[in-house]
Amino acid sequence: MVADTTGSINRIFEAQKAHQYKVAESSCVERKTKLLALKKAVEETFRQEIRDALFADFRKPQAETDLTEIFAVTSEINHTVSYLEKWMSDRYVKTPLSFFGSSSYVRYEPKGTCLIISPWNFPVNLSLGPLVSAVAAGNTAVIKPSEYTPHSSAVLRKIVAHVFSPDEVEVIEGGVETSTELLSLPFNHIFFTGSPQVGKVVMKAAAEHLASVTLELGGKSPVIIDETADIQAAARRLAWGKFMNSGQICIAPDYVFVHRSKAGSFLEELERVLADFYGQAPLGSDSYCSMVNEKHAGRVHAYLEDAVEKGAKVVFGGEKEAGRISPTVITEVAAGSKILQEEIFGPLLPVLTYDDPEEVVRHIRSGEKPLALYIYSRKNSRIEYFLSHTRAGGTCINNNDMHFLQPYLPFGGDNNSGIGKAHGEWGFKAFSNERSVYRQHLPSVLEKLMPPYTAGKNRVIEWIVKLF
Ligand code: NAD
């Protein structure tokens, strides 16, 4: 990793600050041209380098890189390019009778100079995805990727240098110190993806400059499987969404609540699917990613040890070897286990059982609002019950993780799982100020009420208050 120095950080920030109005003036066609150049860089020019970097960083299988790093960015660009003209257009609003003689609209203007801080779990996707929205909205941006995935950061730097000039977009590498330095600068908007803990640090730093923030955070994302669910489909979809990227996904199913009557068949099916996906020796499978480093592997494995110490049963997996932990399913997890308190962010799946849907709702309400909550059921009234009795950033019904890739949906959490939304039009808005524009065409009737406030004018004001 090349850590950037204070001097270069300040230089880049000042250059972008000076250049921001020029970038803001860019037309829709110019912004689309930049986005399409970025798409070509990701999809063609640097595709193999991206794959190699992700493999070097944590043995991410090529198929997962193509789907979750390349496609996630190119589809965001395609969607943005299709709608950018509409999103950039002034949006006229209605005019009440009392404002007769005027018209009003909302103009989407760029926030200005933006900072994007990204995590290591999808280093390309979670750096370039927000960048697509920042560029679409006409901003300059500095990207600070995670220090844990240095090969990916190096490719990101090359991609950005290939497509943009440094006074428009630049990658700055470094760890917490670099991040802290960047956060001390008066950026106009900060788009942070990472843990709730660091999210609080970012929001405090942003408060110093009253910078706006989008915080894409994490937490525990539960899955509910009721007695009417299609168990085969649930096991298959859940296994992919949980164990892809070795479970290091913010929206991965964190734990499962399965109806007691279906627990046996669900566990059998899950075991069959996992053997199908990764064979009898998953640690040697080319379709299975590693943990990002020993520190995280140790953290996750300690959750397993703690749960087992407190009486949990390992029904599948449990092996750890050189930064790799096999897909692991555990049952009979004691309430006080750490695995039920902390976000797992790794390939361990606690399966809990329930008899009454109210138990599930009580449990979910007792924790922070999840980033995602998944419901597997064939019964509409049950789906509606879980939807309306819980809160979450997003939900998939009879699937998991997929809402992230649906470009017409906003993506994000609520409170502890995030503030603000990303993707598509919501991403464009996150990086835009909605500027109110009121234009007077004819003299306003309200002008008749200017001082001095005579008895007659006071009577008219009385009427206005009553009527409008
Ligand atoms: P992290 O919060 O530790 O780090 C994220 C970024 O913040 C990195 O670039 C890091 O260098 C920087 N950082 C770390 N400590 C900092 C500090 N004290 N001050 C300033 N900057 C600091 O997160 P991570 O370990 O990289 O990623 C895992 C977390 O991210 C999980 O909680 C996961 O749920 C969450 N996440 C959320 C989303 C989402 O879209 N909501 C996506 C991916 C990951």
209-218 residue pLDDT tens: 999 999 999 9
Residue 412 counted as domain residue: no
Residue 411 counted as domain residue: no
276-297 residue pLDDT tens: 999 999 999 999 999 999 999 9
Percent of the chain with pLDDT over 90: 96
CA 345 – CA 250 distance, rounded (Å): 7
Atom of ligand 1 nearest to the CA of 195: 32
pTM of the model as a whole: 0.97
Same domain for 400 and 296: yes
* Token digits of residue 221: 């994302």
Residue 373 counted as domain residue: yes
For ligand 1, pick from 4, 142, 179 the residue to mutate: most ligand atoms within 8 Å of CB. Answer: 179
Same domain for 423 and 363: no
β-pairing verdict for 348-354 and 255-259: parallel
Atom of ligand 1 nearest to the CA of 219: 34
Atom of ligand 1 nearest to the CA of 251: 34
325-336 residue pLDDT tens: 999 999 999 999
Identify the pLDDT of residue 322.
Answer: 85
* Token digits of residue 430: 């996150």
With contact defined as beta carbons under 8 Å apart, do 172 and 4 qualify? yes
Identify the pLDDT of residue 1.
Answer: 60
Mean pLDDT of 229-237: 98
Report, as residue numbers or ranges, the catalytic residues.
216, 250
129-159 residue pLDDT tens: 999 999 999 999 999 999 999 999 999 999 9
Same domain for 228 and 159: no
- What φ, ψ does residue 296 adopt, rounded to 5°? -70, -35
Same domain for 124 and 261: no
Residue 451 counted as domain residue: no
Q: Domain holding 299: CATH number?
A: 3.40.309.10
**Residue 457 Cα to ligand 1 middle (Å):** 59
**Residue 123 Cα to ligand 1 middle (Å):** 11
Predicted confidence (pLDDT) at residue 2 exceeds the cutoff of 70: no
Q: How confident is the model at residue 4 (pLDDT cuts 50, 70, 90)?
A: confident
β-pairing verdict for 140-144 and 169-171: parallel
Same domain for 302 and 209: no
| Average of per-residue pLDDT values in the chain | 97
End-to-end CA distance of the chain: 62
Identify the pLDDT of residue 339.
Answer: 98
Range of the domain at 82: 6-217+418-435
Atom of ligand 1 nearest to the CA of 145: 9
Residue 190 counted as domain residue: yes
Same domain for 366 and 302: yes
- What φ, ψ does residue 93 adopt, rounded to 5°? -115, 165
Same domain for 88 and 173: yes
User: For residue 379, what is the DSSP state?
Assistant: -
Residue 314 counted as domain residue: yes
Predicted confidence (pLDDT) at residue 410 exceeds the cutoff of 80: yes
In order, the DSSP letters of 100-127 are: TTEEEEEEEEE--EEEEE--SSSTTHHH
Identify the pLDDT of residue 6.
Answer: 86
Residues enclosing ligand 1, CB less than 6 A? 117-121, 126, 144, 146-147, 175-176, 179-180, 193-195, 198, 201, 216-218, 250, 343, 345, 371, 413, 418
Mean pLDDT of 299-325: 96
In this structure, the residue with its CA closest to atom 1 of ligand 1 is 194
Give the type of residue at 2.
Answer: V
Mean pLDDT of 34-56: 98
**Residue 21 Cα to ligand 1 middle (Å):** 30
Same domain for 212 and 232: no
Predicted confidence (pLDDT) at residue 3 exceeds the cutoff of 80: no
For ligand 1, pick from 58, 118, 121 the residue to mutate: most ligand atoms within 8 Å of CB. Answer: 121
In this structure, the residue with its CA closest to atom 10 of ligand 1 is 146
How many domains, the chain?
2
**Residue 195 Cα to ligand 1 middle (Å):** 4
